[in-house]
Structure formats: C-alpha cells, structure tokens
Structure 1
Amino acid sequence: MQRVLEPELMDDAEQVVAYAEADFEKPHSEFIQRLKAFVNEPGFSGKALDLGCGPGDISRRFARAFPFCKIDAIDGSKPMIDYGVNSIDAELQSRLNFIHGKLPDTELPELRYHIIFSNSLLHHLPDPQVLWQVVKTYSTSGTRIAVMDLIRPDTTEMAKALIETYATKEPEILQRDFYCSLLAAFTVEEINDQMAQAGLPLTVEQISDRHVFISGIAS
C-alpha cells in the first residue's frame, strides 16, 4: 500500500479535544517507560526537547518522571499548544516550556539538547527529513534520541482491523484520524532508508502491531 498523506497540522478545535482526551494511556506509558530505561539516570537534570508535542501529555509525563530536567515542547498547531499550556500543573510551570512553531523554521531556545524525543510526529510530515534534520541540528555528541510512531499496514483492510481493535470506543473523529494516520505512516524499511539518508546511527525496531521505536545516541 502506498503512503497517503494526511494534514500536517491538527488545528480543528473538535479534533484537538478528541485527541487530547483520548485513551492513550498504554502507548504513552510504554513510551515513557522506554525513555526512562533509555536515559537510565533517575536524577537526569539536562534539557529535553519534545518535537510535535501535541496537547502535551508526553511532555508532562516526562517532566514528572524526571523532576530535575527542563523541557522545551514544540508543536505547529496553536490549539494544541494552547491546550498544553492550560493543562500544566503549577509544579511543572517552571520546567515545561510550550512553544508554538512549525519545524524546521522555528528557532528553539537552546542550541543543543541532552535528549530529543518525539511521539507521533513523523507520520504527519510530508517530508520525513524535516524531523531528522531538526534532530541533527539540535543534537551533539552524546545526545539521546528517541522517536515513537505508527507503522503503515500493508493494506487498508489491515488498517481498518487496527481501528476495530484499538479505537472502537473512541469518538468517530478520532477513529477517522487514526485511520488516516496509519495510511500516512512509514514502514520499517522506509524509516531505515531515512536513517541512511540522514546519516543518523539510530536503531529502528517494531515494538507492536502498529508502533515503531527509533532510538540511539548521537555521535
């Protein structure tokens, strides 16, 4: 099945609320557990960058998992960023900075970050090298990089089966977006090709029937 692009930004208010209130507990918790194992430093006090942060759930979870770090979280959707800003606990406000801006045009506050992570941004991008070049720009030797995203199924029937398995209790708008995201996602082989093109020494691993985890340390 060929890739079918979906809108790069989620700007519709109903769409934003549906996404922000959806049940992503399992994949988001798993992503944070993988990040904790990857960082392997409970007292981590470096600077983190969340690319395509959406409404900020992953950013907030990361901030709670590492109470000494500071995070810049960027997204191109203003409604998503507004939702994130309005959802920050008082204890996180001094450490979590939400930024509205579209990559790669927005200049970020730091020149380099100790960890760069991203969840479900890659499949939104018409050109995947936008993500990987931003990662290269803001990383340095030793920067930890971790990206989780969807994998494109082989057929539309397989995509519909995933909707039936994981999203039947979600609003219709979220089911539609999930289906479109699956069709817009990349295969493991395509992501490996992206790594080669970008010159990034990252490992690409399929971790479920719908997710891929891309990780490594910048050299």
Structure 2
Amino acid sequence: MIPRTPEPELMNEPQQVQAYAAADFESSDQALVECIDQLLLDSGRRFVPGDCLVDLGCGPGNISERLARHWPTCAVVGVDAASQMIETAESSRRRAGMARERLRYVLAPLPWHGLQSQATLIVSNSLLHHLHDPQKLWSCLRPLAGDQCLVLHRDLRRPSTAMAVDQLCERYVADAPEVLQRDYRASLQAAFTVEEVKAQLRDAQLDHLQVRELEDRYLEISGWIAGCQSGLDQPSA
C-alpha cells in the first residue's frame, strides 16, 4: 500500500475554482442524490418541510444546489473554508434565483458547529481526503445532528500501488484540464483506505456507520446518528 501524502486542505486558487465550477460532475452529483433517496426509502423515513440539509465542503455549490432543487421545501446550508469557492457558490445561487431561506452558504473551517437548527442530513463529497486531521469532520457530526440525522460521505479511496494511481488518472482525467489532472492525482494519494476510515470512526465513536468500497475508486460512509442533545444513535440503515 502506498503511503498517504496529504494535500492542501483548501482549494482557493482562482484557476482551481474556475476549473471545478466548469467541470461536468453531473453523473456523480446525481448519483449522490439518488443514494440519499435510496437510504431514505430503505429506512422508511423522509424529509419534511423545514428540515435542514447540510453540505460540508460544498465547494462551488453543485451538490448544495442540487439538494435544494430536489427537496425544495427543505433549507440547505453549504459550508466551505475556501472563500473563492463560497463566492462562486453564491454567484451560482443568485443566477438560479434561489432565496437564501432555501439555500445559503457559510464560509467556515471544520469543525463547524454554527447551525441554528438541527440537521436532518449531513453530506459531503470529496471532502475527507483534504483534511490533515479527519476528526475535524467526524467531530462535528453530532453537534450538528438532530435526533434522526442521515449522514452520507463519499470520497476517493487510496489505491494500493503507484501503478494503480497512474491507471486511474489515465482512465478518468486524461482529457481533463491540467489543473484537474494534477489535483486528481494528488487527491488519490491523499485519500484514505476503508480500514483507515473504519479506525477513524471507532475513534469518533461512530463505528456503527457503514463503510464500503464503491466502484473502482470510491468509498462511502453512511448511516443514521442522533445529535448530542438527542440521546442514543439510531441504527444504521
């Protein structure tokens, strides 16, 4: 197994922000929303009007905006520590004509505990591998969560060999802009393995959450938790 090589926590270079905002993540973003739908269906639960959905590490707001469109009666909060990403997300929100009551963005690093209400969903996509200390993510889940909060976190997983890194880069970003090719390689090398994530969750007392490999390059963490004020965690779905 190749060792983990951390990358910068923030993606704040204008070239990076522009490239990620312009990139086509349609299929992966939609797959995340469909996974949330399936987890809700499997549990027999649903979001109700006024529920708060939190997108941590929201970047340019692609997933936050998709959540707001898919659940239009809920309030979505996107959080990111990169000012350029938040500015881009805000511009997109205004162009889409979405009111801040439905979708708002917060510039803040993790751990973030600034939610005024309790979250019914906490989601992140490709956030975990950016964190030098993964407990920055896991430690903020319970303070944000309501009594029945669905969590879903997707990320890359680190390949076992340098050759596997090369193969994934060739397969998925060979025709992408140079900045995306560079970042994708760095992200693969900074990503965690399934076993490393399971150890992180044990340390955070969240080991009831499910961790699984997804396709040839991803991992997924999902399940139900209860917030600090809400008693025991719910069983994972």
Answer whether TM exceeds 0.5 for this pair. Answer: yes
1:5-154 to structure 2, matched below 5 A, reads 5-40=6-41, 44-45=48-49, 46-88=51-93, 89-104=96-111, 106-154=112-160
Q: Which moved more, 1:115-124 or 1:39-48?
A: 39-48
Using the alignment, how far apart are the partners of 1:202 and 1:44 within structure 2? 23
Q: Which ranges of 4 or more aligned residues in structure 1 deviate by more than 6 Å?
A: none
Specify the SS of the correspondent of 2:11: coil
Using the alignment, how far apart are the partners of 2:143 and 2:25 within structure 1? 30
Shift of 1:42: 6.2
Letter in 2 for 1:21: A
1:64-108 per-position Cα deviation (integer Å, ceiling 9, x unaligned) = 11111001110000000000000011135430011111112x442
Q: Which runs of 5+ in 2 are unaligned?
A: 226-232
Letter in 2 for 1:114: T
Letter in 2 for 1:44: V
Identity of aligned residues (%): 39
Shift of 1:44: 3.2
Using the alignment, how far apart are the partners of 1:217 and 1:186 within structure 2? 22
1:130-173 per-position Cα deviation (integer Å, ceiling 9, x unaligned) = 10001122124311111011100011221111111111121011
Letter in 1 for 2:211: V
Using the alignment, how far apart are the partners of 2:71 and 2:168 within structure 1? 33
Q: Which moved more, 1:74-83 or 1:193-202?
A: 193-202
Q: Summarize the Cα distance change of 1:44–1:111 in structure 2 as closer, same or farther, 3 Å threshold.
A: closer
Whether the 8 Å CA contact 1:50–1:71 is kept in 2: the answer is yes
Aligned length: 218
Scaled by the length of structure 2, the TM-score of the pair is: 0.88
Q: Which runs of 5+ in 1 are unaligned?
A: none
Specify the SS of the correspondent of 1:141: strand
Scaled by the length of structure 1, the TM-score of the pair is: 0.95
Q: Which moved more, 1:204-213 or 1:87-96?
A: 87-96
Please provide the CA RMSD for this pair. Answer: 1.4
Letter in 2 for 1:123: H
Using the alignment, how far apart are the partners of 1:38 and 1:108 within structure 2? 26
Whether the 8 Å CA contact 2:52–2:74 is kept in 1: the answer is yes
Q: Which moved more, 1:33-42 or 1:8-17?
A: 33-42
Corresponding position: 1:3 with 2:4: yes
